[in-house]
Structures are given as C-alpha cells and as structure tokens.
Structure 1
Amino acid sequence: MGTSHQVFLVLSCLLTGPGLISCQLLLPSILPNENEKIVQLNSSFSLRCVGESEVSWQHPMSEEDDPNVEIRSEENNSGLFVTVLEVVNASAAHTGWYTCYYNHTQTDESEIEGRHIYIYVPDPDMAFVPLGMTDSLVIVEEDDSAIIPCRTTDPETQVTLHNNGRLVPASYDSRQGFNGTFSVGPYICEATVKGRTFKTSEFNVYALKATSELNLEMDARQTVYKAGETIVVTCAVFNNEVV
C-alpha cells in the first residue's frame, strides 16, 4: 500500500462586522512537513507544495541554470493544487531555503511569503555553499548588524571567522552565516572537516555613512509651469550615503 499524506489547511478569520467573517488561507503546506532536511550527496529528493490555489517554488538555483531541478504540477483528486519540485544528483549548491508560496499573493516588488524548508547536502570536498556573484560584498549602514553569508553544507560543521588573521567572535547560523556588527575590511570563514581545512574567499564589509538629519539642497529650473510641461527638480544630499 502507498503512503497516505494528510494535509491540514489553516484559515485566518477576521470578524469584519455584525455577523460577517472574512477568511483567507494563511500559507500553503510542504511535504515532507519538516523545518530542515539533510540529503545525501548525489542522491535525489522531491518536495511537494500543496494549497487551495496555484502554488510555486522559490529555490537556491533556477531551472535555467540547473537541469537537475524540475518543477511540475501534479494532479490529484483532493481539489487542491500540488506543485512538485524534484532534484536529481543533489550537490552542495542545492543547499539552501526552498519556499512554497501562493502565486496570487506575490508581486515582482514584494518579498516571497510562504512556507519554508531548509535542505542541507553535505559534501566532504566542499564545506561551504558556493557563493553568488555579489555575496562577497557586504554593504551595511554604519553601526548596524550585518550577515557574512558563509553557509555550510553540513549543519554540524564548526566555523570560525577571521579578519586580517585575527579571530572574530560572532554569532553563527549554518543557514545564514555570521551575524554581528563588523568593522570595515576583509573577512574569511574557516572550517575543518575530517582533518581538512577549508577557507572561503574574502568577504569585504563596506559601511555606508548615514545620519538622521539630511543636509540637502534643492533646485528647480523654474517655479512656474504651464499645464502639460515637465517639472524638473534637482535634489542633492551631502555627507550621507543612504537616502
């Protein structure tokens, strides 16, 4: 006999007036119902996103960049929408967040809001998850906390942070990296796995100067316009890199 999966749908209901109740589906569901999962290197795994309307996946690698990732709709008799994400020949690069979300709740400008599961793919030859093109540049406002995104493929790996050869104490989460208030400069993450030492490339922390008061000048070519004319105003901000 096959395995039967039960999916529980949670509704958020709001009393909007006398005798009127407005309800909406909170979030879709993910099968398996886990917060994180460790997947064996070079193996295959699949995740199911289930909801009451059309659902999609956000994942670490796009289908265009990775032929080992396939996303497809799956028919069932429950009346629910099911979208399956399948990965074959899993590698360290597949380590990361997988998010299941409703299509109708997302816009191009909004952050993805949905249900999450974190997948680890431990690789003895690759302690750290490969970096994206812009990950090595960490830009932060002065005195604000920042994340240095050296994530490990194995949650059990111990990691240290170094700045110009000095050990830097900071909070570490294998799903994010090091979190703290860092001075400007280069940082390297280091890990030891089965006697082998792994180091990341440099992360460069750059702080933007920001003040609560803006020193600015505004200028307009003219102050009186006719209907239909284009209004041009120039605004210049001084001594502040965050506007």
Structure 2
Amino acid sequence: MKLWLFFTLALLWLEVQNGVCQQVKRKKEADENRIRTGRKRVKVRYPKVKEKEAGSKGQSILTQVLDKARFLRLGESLSLNPGKTLELRCKGTNIGWAYPSYLDTFNDNRLSIKQHERYSQLILTLPSAADTGDYSCRVVLCDGEECAKDGESTSVTYIYFTDKDELFVPSAIHFEIIYLRPDKPATVPCRVTNPKIKVSLHREVPAEEIAVDGTQISYNPTKGFIIQNPSPEHKGAYYCKANSTTKITPQISTKYQLLYVEVPSGPPFATIEASSNTLSGGNIFNVTCTVLGEPEMNVSFSWRYPGQGQRPVNIHDSWRLINRGVGHTTRISQSVMIVDDVETIDYGKYICSTKNKHGETLVATMVKSHE
C-alpha cells in the first residue's frame, strides 16, 4: 500500500514539472518571435511641408473670414455688399499683399495688415464701391537679408463691392487720357461694381455707339473695353454707359480722351543745341536739351558742364504734348540751362544726360571763345 502511494505521488510530480517546462518554453518562443535579428527600432520622422508646397498652384492660400468659426477659400472673384468689414487671411510666415493702389496713394487708414505666427491678416473697414479690384497675397521667401516673392505661391481674387448707386468703380480723375499704340492693346478702364451690369462704349463726336465684336473690341468687367489693334481712327473723346435692373436711367462713366502715339517705346530720343557755339566774354547764352517720347513717359535730366560747382547757372525743366501729323501725339520734354555773363571757365563741353524707364541717352555740344 505504501509502495502504491509513493508511485502515485511520483507520477503527479512529473506531470507538474512537464507543465511548468511547457509554459517556460512557450514564453521563450514568444519572446524569440517578438525579437527579430537584423532589425532595429527607428524613430519615424515625418517631412516638414514648406510654405511653397502649401501654396502650390491649384490650392488657394487666400481665405475670407466669415465669422470666428467659418472661413471661405476664395476663387477668381467674389461679390460683396459695401459697408461690412472685410477680413482676409493668407497662410504663411512671411506674406506680401497687393490691393487697389489708391489705398496706398491716399494712405487710407481703413486698411490694416498684421503678420501672425502662421498667417497674415488684412482688414478693410467700411469698404465701398471704390475698393473694387484685385486683392492678392504671395509667399515671400528669404535667404538671409535677400527676399523674393514666390510666383507659384500666389493667390489672387477680384472683389466686387456691389453698390446699386455706383455702377462704375469711382475714380478721382474726371477726364482721363488713354494713349493708343499700334504695337499693343489699349484699355478704356470703365470697370463696374457688379459683373452682371451691361456696359456699352460711346464716342462723343460723331455721336455713336461703338460695336463690340469680342475680337477687335471686347469688354472685361475687371478691366474695361479692350481695343486689340489701335489705329488713328480710334482717337477721340469717349464715355461708357451702364444699365442696371435696379436703376431706370443709365449711368455715365468718366470721360476718356484717346490719343494716338507716334513715338515707339525705348530710351530717350534726345538732341542738344546751344543758342550760340561761339561766344565772347560777358555774353548770355543757353543750352537746350530736348526729348521726344511717349506721352506719359517721364524723363529726367542731369547736366555736366565746364564751370560746374564754381559758376551759378539757371536750369528749367518742362514738358508738353504736341500733335505731329494727323492723329499723332508726342510728348516733348526739355531742360534749358542759362549761363549769364560768360567767363573763360564757361568754355568747353556741355553734356546732357536723359533717362526714362527704358534707358539713358547722353548728348553733348561745345561752346568756344569768339577770340
């Protein structure tokens, strides 16, 4: 009996040991499967998105703030009622803005711009029909002290402030001159405050409505009437007429005087002439520097002359528009230097330097002693 009991206890002890060993083996195999040789645990790094990528083509970075919790991503155009504050935001840490230029010209305090950590904010209070135009933002990329605007990260929206009493975008100019050139289109800039307004173009003398065929002459509400190939026959006085469903009588725009330009674009075409190139002591003479150019092209003058810094001279600059031939208009700009009571130091070369946005031209003449 004792032998049988001993035998039973021995078998029970072996079963317990086998169970413990199986658990240890399974745990070890599980641990071995969890740890794979030849692999290391690495920290995952996610690439940072650059501002340029965030504002790439097809993705507008310009939004309108509707209220504290709602935003509208803007497209090509937007129509708003005047009077309500406009708030725009543009994503980026360094943003440049563009808006109707007169807001800068008159230093309008209704406009404010503030750069925040992740976006820039533009606020325009009490907007009116005159504020109609392009509003855009652009990511500015800087390398040290040098910065450049990224053309690919630009968003532009044309915003209409629809005023039922102001059909045309108001202008401070009541009579505007438009220059016609044979080498590029001309625009009669009668823009409207609502793209649905019907607009027509009219000549004063002879009184007639100009046909708009969409090819030679077309209309764009954000620009005005576009004349593709201007010629002398287009010169004259014009105005635009707007018709609206909310107004019985049509509205008349600013008057426009269209002038045909003869002189092509380029550096100044300059000439110089002295009233006399041979002088005696005590005489009075003048040197005139003349430039013929485009009607709206500003020209600057500077002089170098023998008695510079030692002799007093009188210099007078002026310009005017002149007609040359039939239907051709040119701007004549002049600088006149007057030298009184000629002395020996005044003899020599007189050099006139003329500059415009296209380049610089130098002309010279000699003044000698009569003796």
Shorter-chain-normalised TM-score: which range?
0.5 to 0.7
What is the aligned partner in structure 1 of residue 257 from structure 2? 204
Find the aligned partners of 2:61 and 2:254 in 1 and give their Cα distance: 37
Find the aligned partners of 1:140 and 1:114 in 2 and give their Cα distance: 31
Q: Aligned-pair distance for 1:130?
A: 1.4
Find the aligned partners of 2:203 and 2:129 in 1 and give their Cα distance: 26
1:62 is paired with a residue of what secondary structure? helix
Q: Is the 8 A contact 2:175 2:257 kept in 1?
A: no
Q: Deviations over 1:61-80 (max 9, x none)?
A: 425532222211223xxxx4
The runs of 4+ residues in structure 1 deviating greater than 3 Å are 7-11, 24-28, 132-135, 216-219, 230-235
Residues 1:157 and 2:189 aligned together: no
Kindly provide the amino acid, as one letter, of the partner of residue 184 in structure 1: K
Map 1:1-243 to 2 at 5 A: 10-11=52-53, 29-31=61-63, 32-51=73-92, 53-60=93-100, 61-62=102-103, 65-75=107-117, 80=118, 82-103=119-140, 104-105=147-148, 114-133=154-173, 136-142=176-182, 144-164=184-204, 165-169=207-211, 170-180=217-227, 181-182=229-230, 183-193=234-244, 194=246, 195-210=248-263, 232=351
TM-score of the aligned structures, taking structure 2 as reference length: 0.46
Higher relative contact order (CA 8 A, sep 6+): 1
1:123 is paired with a residue of what secondary structure? coil
Q: Is the 8 A contact 1:28 1:50 kept in 2?
A: no
Q: Aligned-pair distance for 1:141?
A: 1.4
Q: Which one has a bigger Cα radius of gyration?
A: 2
TM-score of the aligned structures, taking structure 1 as reference length: 0.67
| Unaligned residue ranges in structure 2 (runs of 5+) | 1-48, 64-72, 141-146, 212-216, 273-348, 355-360, 362-371
Q: Aligned-pair distance for 1:186?
A: 1.1
Find the aligned partners of 1:36 and 1:135 in 2 and give their Cα distance: 29
Counting matched residue pairs gives 199
Identity %: 23
Q: Tell me how large the CA RMSD over aligned residues is.
A: 3.9
Q: Aligned-pair distance for 1:8?
A: 9.3
Find the aligned partners of 1:42 and 1:186 in 2 and give their Cα distance: 34
Q: Aligned-pair distance for 1:140?
A: 2.7
Q: Deviations over 1:31-84 (max 9, x none)?
A: 233111111121122111223x52121111425532222211223xxxx4x211
Find the aligned partners of 1:190 and 1:8 in 2 and give their Cα distance: 48
Kindly provide the amino acid, as one letter, of the partner of residue 172 in structure 1: Y
What is the aligned partner in structure 2 of residue 19 from structure 1? none
Q: Is the 8 A contact 2:190 2:254 kept in 1?
A: no
| Unaligned residue ranges in structure 1 (runs of 5+) | 1-6, 12-23, 220-229, 236-242
Q: Is the 8 A contact 1:140 1:207 kept in 2?
A: yes
Structure 1's 191 and 158: CA in aligned 2 closer, same or farther, altered over 3 A? same
Find the aligned partners of 1:29 and 1:38 in 2 and give their Cα distance: 19
